[in-house]
Structure 1
Amino acid sequence: MLPDNSLSPGEPIRLFHLSDIHFGLEDESALAWAKSCIAREKPHAVAITGDLTMRARHPEFAAATNWIKALDVPVTVEVGNHDIPYFNLYERFFAPYKRFHAIENMVEAKLHLPGLAIVPLKTTTRAQWQRFPWSNGWVTEKALAETLAAIDALPAGTRVLIAAHHPLTERRAKDGKLLTINGTRTMEVLAERKVMAVLSGHIHDAFDLTAETRRGPLRMIGAGTLSKRIRSTPPSFNEITIDGDRIKVVARNLEHVPTAAMQIDQVPENALPPREPDEPVAPVGAVPPVDPPVH
Structure 2
Amino acid sequence: MTRIVHLSDLHFGFHRARLLDHLLERVNHARADLVVLTGDITHRGRSAQYAQAAAFLSRIEAPLMAVPGNHDVPLYNLPMRYLMPYAAYRRAMGPELSPTRQAGGVRVLGMNSVDPFAVQRGIVRDGEIGRLTGGLDPTAMNVVAMHHPLEHLAQVDKELSRRAPEALARLERAGVQIVLSGHLHVWATGAMLDQTTHPGVLQIQGGTALCARVSDRQNEFAVLQIDGTLLTIERHIAPMDEPSFRPPEYEHFSRESGIWVAHQPLETPIVPGATETAFSTA
The bucket for the TM-score relative to the shorter chain is 0.7 to 0.9
Q: Aligned to 1:109, which of 92, 99, 104? A: 99
C-alpha distance in 1 between matches for 2:79 and 2:266: 40
Structure 2 partner of 1:4: none
- The ranges of structure 1 where at least 4 consecutive aligned residues each deviate by more than 6 angstroms after the TM superposition are 174-177
Distance verdict in 2 for CA 1:60–1:122, change over 3 Å: same
1:30 aligns with 2:14: no
CA distance in 1, matches of 2:49, 2:156: 36
Shift of 1:137: 1.7
Q: Please say if 1:148 is aligned against 2:127.
A: no
Q: What is the CA-CA distance between 1:107 and the residue it aligns to? A: 4.4
- Is 1:199 the counterpart of 2:188? The answer is no
Q: Determine if contact 2:39/2:67 at 8 Å carries over to the other structure.
A: yes
Question: What is the aligned partner in structure 1 of residue 240 from structure 2?
Answer: none
The SS at the match of 1:55 is: coil
Q: Does 1:165 align with 2:134?
A: no
Query: Larger deviation: 225-234 or 88-97?
Result: 225-234
Contact 1:205 1:263 in 2 (8 A): no
Contact 1:109 1:120 in 2 (8 A): yes
Which structure 2 residues correspond to residues 273-284 of structure 1 after superposition, within 5 A?
none
The structural deviation recorded for 1:112 is: 0.6
Q: Is the 8 A contact 2:73 2:86 kept in 1?
A: yes
% same residue: 23
**Counterpart selection for 2:164 from 183, 189, 194:** 183
CA spacing shift, 1:262–1:22, aligned 2, 3 Å: farther
* CA–CA distance in structure 1, aligned partners of residues 175 and 38 of structure 2: 21
Q: Give, in angstroms, the shift of residue 91 of structure 1.
A: 1.9
- For residue 193 of structure 1, report the CA deviation from its aligned partner: 1.8
Shift of 1:158: 2.0
Partner of 2:68: 79
**Cα 1:67/1:160, change in 2 over 3 Å:** same
Q: Which residue of 2 aligns with 1:95?
A: 84
Confirm or deny that 1:272 pairs with 2:261.
no
Q: CA 1:177–1:251 in 2, change beyond 3 Å: closer, same or farther? A: closer
Distance in 1 separating the partners of 2:233 and 2:142: 16
RMSD: 2.8
TM-score w.r.t. the length of structure 1 is 0.76
In structure 1, what is the Cα distance between the partners aligned to 2:17 and 2:47? 19
What secondary structure does 2:65 align onto? strand
For the residues of structure 1 that align with 2:154 and 2:179, how far apart are their CA atoms? 20
1:223 corresponds to which of 203, 206, 229: 206
Alpha-carbon distance in structure 2 between the residues aligned to 1:235 and 1:174: 20
What is the SS of the residue equivalent to 2:135?
helix
* TM-score when normalising by structure 2: 0.79
Q: Which amino acid aligns with 1:115?
A: G
Superposed CA offset, 1:26-56 (max 9, x none) = 1123222121122333211100110011111
Total equivalences in the alignment: 253
| 1:57 Cα deviation from its structure 2 partner | 1.4
- Asked if structure 2 preserves the Cα contact closer than 8 Å seen for 1:206 and 1:251, the reply is no
> Structure 1 residues 57 and 263, CA, compared in 2 at 3 Å: closer, same or farther?
farther
SS, match of residue 52 in structure 2: helix
